[in-house]
Amino acid sequence: MDVREGGMKLDKSKLQNFRKSIRQFERLLSDQINYTRCHGEVTLAQCHAMMELENVKQTTVVDLAKKLGLNKSTISRTVEGLVKRGFVERKQDVDDRRFVQVKLTELGAQKCNIFNVDNDDYYQKVFKFIPAALHAEVIKCFSLLIDGMAEAEKISQVSTSDDS
């Protein structure tokens, strides 16, 4: 069955059990995020922006907003907070002054490293409680869930904009 063609609907009981599991997952993830989120020094959006900058090294504010699914004004405020803390450097694009380039500072890169180590340690602990033979399957299923949620979000956005 092609996932893009739509899978079978879950019966109500299975859907309710899934939603219950998601709520528990959200609570556990929230606790973990609050603990490891760059040691409480930045917001979740700032932490995600820093992690994305670690991956791409340097990008425009516009491209960072697109990658994180945020609007330009939100990412601009997010980046401004990181600049004030010395985690991100911002400068005009030399080729097109309408764009602003952003990248991590050395301090920002150090904070990302701490965040990565903390998260790696945490998820290593989590995977110790999952049979090794299932590790790849858990990762695959989690990716499928994320992809499905992203597609559902796109559909929701289209139907919402059609209603306007």
In a domain, 136, yes or no: yes
Per-residue pLDDT of 53-65, as tens digits, reads 999 999 988 899 9
pLDDT (0 to 100) of residue 134: 97
pLDDT (0 to 100) of residue 38: 62
pLDDT (0 to 100) of residue 145: 92
- Alpha carbons 61 and 77: distance in angstroms, whole number: 10
**Inter-residue contact 63 to 82 (CB < 8 Å):** no
58: domain range? 10-158
pLDDT (0 to 100) of residue 126: 92
**Which residue ranges of the chain lie beneath pLDDT 70?**
1-7, 35-39, 157-164
pLDDT (0 to 100) of residue 162: 56
Per-residue pLDDT of 31-41, as tens digits, reads 777 766 566 77
In a domain, 2, yes or no: no
| CATH code of the domain covering residue 97 | 1.10.10.10
Overall domain count for the chain = 1
In a domain, 163, yes or no: no
In a domain, 149, yes or no: yes
What single-letter DSSP state applies at residue 9? P
